[in-house]
Chains A and B, each alone.
Chain A
């Protein structure tokens, strides 16, 4: 039997996802119409022999998370539980801390998935590779171009055996164009090296305490394990870590801009996996161009034109003559007549007035470079806000006829004029 662990992090993480992460834990942010980690759960649920899915993180188990877990258990008929860390334990600390829960029932192996990745999750192929040749750690790897590889964990493999010979997290010079996807298959033996790291960290900490400079603030925290540096880098070249390469879809979801890009990838994939989620042209319905998700409770006027890459959430109202392209409209938002929304995320309960234009700038990977990934997304360069997608936080009000271009509007703001290239507090 198999299990899966999804590492969902905590509220201190995901700052690059502001202001959207103020309202909902980032792992529940809707990507292509469903919570980010539902894509993970769906992929896990399809693996034959999957018995349990565990979420590990340090979010307080709030209502949206609880409701999501209940709904997901129902839908997939699988136990899905949330294990809350007592403190942020890094990418590996939680796995070690909750090792008993993970190994309970004696799984043959368990998947470990970072929540903030978008992928077609080739879990079956990884499992086949593992069963052909079991090793403690199997990493999913993909390719990036030389410059962009520096933003990721870089893997040097033995091309014949696919053993990981060298692993560096975000190197400053080029190491390899194979990058870590944050999707792993671990065997139960993987917990032994984790235990070694844990114990070594404990000893180091004790040593510091003995030396008298152990102010708890400067120490990353007992039990913290960084899977990438403490384990992959340390154990590479020792016959324990292997890589499985994929050329399927993959992208990180660190920022709102990358969520929009991930939405595009997932919507495109729905043609294969969930055609029922894609809006169809219907008599009396809106005009649909390309891949569009419309929540069944949304009200969309027949003269609206939507797509490509548009996701419309629960209870959203789209007025007559609205144009939406490359955008996400979240729960309860209203777009009044003739508005034009391009490359933007419209926050929960926000209102956009008639003939207003909400527009951002896409920072998608170069479509002519098959190895191109999202660039590392800093908001500023030389003190200037870089053109990026426009984000309206929760319950923002945009008056009629104004232009909001390349701007970020923080929640509950009522604007009275146009803005370009600004963060509006």
Chain B
């Protein structure tokens, strides 16, 4: 089977992290976002992954070559000259997708969940129609476009954008399976699959919704990235608790790379992921944070709801909170307070940032 992953552009919503690293390669819970999806696809029998990208990155190409070898699959990059929306990339990859007549996966690249790929294949075969989309329940459907479907079969009746009265609490989770015949609906031009293709398919009775059990999050921006991390770690607690860390000073769900070093009298967690080579000195308190590879947190600092970029250095007695994001190789001086700061790579911070802002 094949899978097309809609990687898209520069990942501006996840800046400043994506100024240094293409979004698919940003580590989420110590694994590149893309690999969470690719590894799950491979498990479900996918042997050819096509990445639809609208910009070229040597870093991404190189990494994908390595993953091809490691996973024993084929990875292709399908490069859009101009952004083609969420449907156009299917047309661009038409040749690759029609090498055989198997159905194929299409995924948004920003989502994280317990990927239900095997169940999707089953569901798709069971209803036998052209397309399956995965839906997830939300608490406040009025903020999203919702999917109205038959309760027992999942056949989709219609889509309602930002419903003012309750019609459904299920939203598109950004994961699909299509039969190759879907490609006849899509031209090689900027097209929205959600707005232009799905409504037609639903009308024709060709589109079915499979409800996703468990958690789901779009992690395309820092705030949601952290929320997604909390959900993912909680899911690990249930499915693979042995991967989580425990011991003195560890509170709740904490993921720590074996090469991470943590000092004395720290309080780490709940909901923390510490990447490879990270150093946390004595007396540090970290909660609800992602600390990326090679970062160094000096003693007695306090971090809540932050993403610390690769190789960044956080000084002593620093307080960082409220979705502060440090890009790569940022240095935060001793005793500073960062509130919702978004710090671009290679920056050295010598003054507190008491109100949320971007540090160029």
Q: Which positions in A face B, CB cutoff 8 Å? A: 303, 305, 320-321, 323, 325, 337-338, 340, 342, 354-355, 357, 359, 401, 403, 405, 420
Contacts and interface: CB of A to CB of B under 8 A. Distances in A.
Given A323-B316, A338-B283, A405 B337 contact: yes
Interface string B289-331: 0000000000110101000000000001101010000000000
9 contacts: A303-B283, A320-B283, A323-B316, A337-B283, A338-B283, A342-B335, A355-B285, A355-B300, A405-B354
A420 B354 CA distance: 9
A359 B319 CA distance: 11
The residue among A305, A354, A355 with the most chain B CB atoms within 10 A of its own CB is A355
B19 to A, nearest CB: 29
Secondary structure dominating the interface of A: strand
Interface in B227-282: 265, 267, 282
Given A337-B283, A359-B337, A321 B299 contact: yes
Q: What interface size band does chain B fall in?
A: 10 to 19
Given A355-B302, A401-B285, A401-B302, A337 B265 contact: yes
Secondary structure dominating the interface of B: loop
Contacts of A354: 285
Contacts of B302: 338, 355, 357, 401
A303 B337 CA distance: 21
Given A357-B319, A403-B319, A325 B335 contact: yes
A148 to B, nearest CB: 26
Contacts of B300: 321, 323, 338, 340, 355
B335 A340 contact: yes
A340 B285 contact: no
Nearest to A354: B285
Contact of B283 (A321, A359, A405, A420): A321
Nearest to B299: A321
Nearest to A403: B319
Nearest to A340: B317
Nearest to B287: A401
B29 to A, nearest CB: 24
Nearest to A325: B335
Contacts of A401: 285, 302, 304
Contacts of A405: 337, 354
Contacts of B354: 405, 420
A405 B299 CA distance: 21
B286 to A, nearest CB: 10
Contacts of A337: 265, 283
A155 to B, nearest CB: 39
A323 B302 CA distance: 13
A401 B286 CA distance: 11
